[in-house]
Structure 1
């Protein structure tokens, strides 16, 4: 199966939830603010102001706005990167482990 066919198939296999939430990315000890655009059971799409590369490992934290709900913490890996015109980039992350 070609990468394009697999990408399309995978997008249809997982329900994506639009999130638009502030997140913290931790990469090699640095914390970088970003925005989570959408989230599925196996990954997420983010917009970040810093250049990452495919294969980078990132810890992701999404704080909960509600005291009764725990936020999300996950170990992830960058699987795709798309440069944006404003210098930001969109990142596709696969979730390796939920904390």
Structure 2
């Protein structure tokens, strides 16, 4: 049982973060508000998004990351804010957890 727990934790750390630095659209269900932001990096469990506005921890929203290939659809997710930190340039870095991919 302990080996299984250690392996489960280890597997969560095995996702590689891919630097993407591309425009992403955020859509908020509670207000039907949309926002354009920058997806800085992406992994199997989350993404780092740079915005001009702070977002509350635990808030949830939908994302749409466009595909550069017309043969593939946009990458759509629902995410939850894990952390929000202001950067030196006054923008906000939003750490998110991917909840699902509808």
Q: So what's the TM-score if we normalise by structure 2?
A: 0.81
Structure 1 gaps, min length 5:
1-8
Residue 43 of structure 2 is matched in structure 1 by 40
Residue 20 of structure 2 is matched in structure 1 by 19
Alpha-carbon RMSD:
1.7
Q: So what's the TM-score if we normalise by structure 1?
A: 0.83
The separation in 2 between residues aligned to 1:50 and 1:10, in whole angstroms, is 33
Structure 2 gaps, min length 5:
1-9
- 3-state SS of paired residue (1:13): coil
The separation in 1 between residues aligned to 2:20 and 2:92, in whole angstroms, is 17
- Alignment: residue pair count: 91
Q: Rg larger in 1 or in 2?
A: 2
- 3-state SS of paired residue (2:90): coil
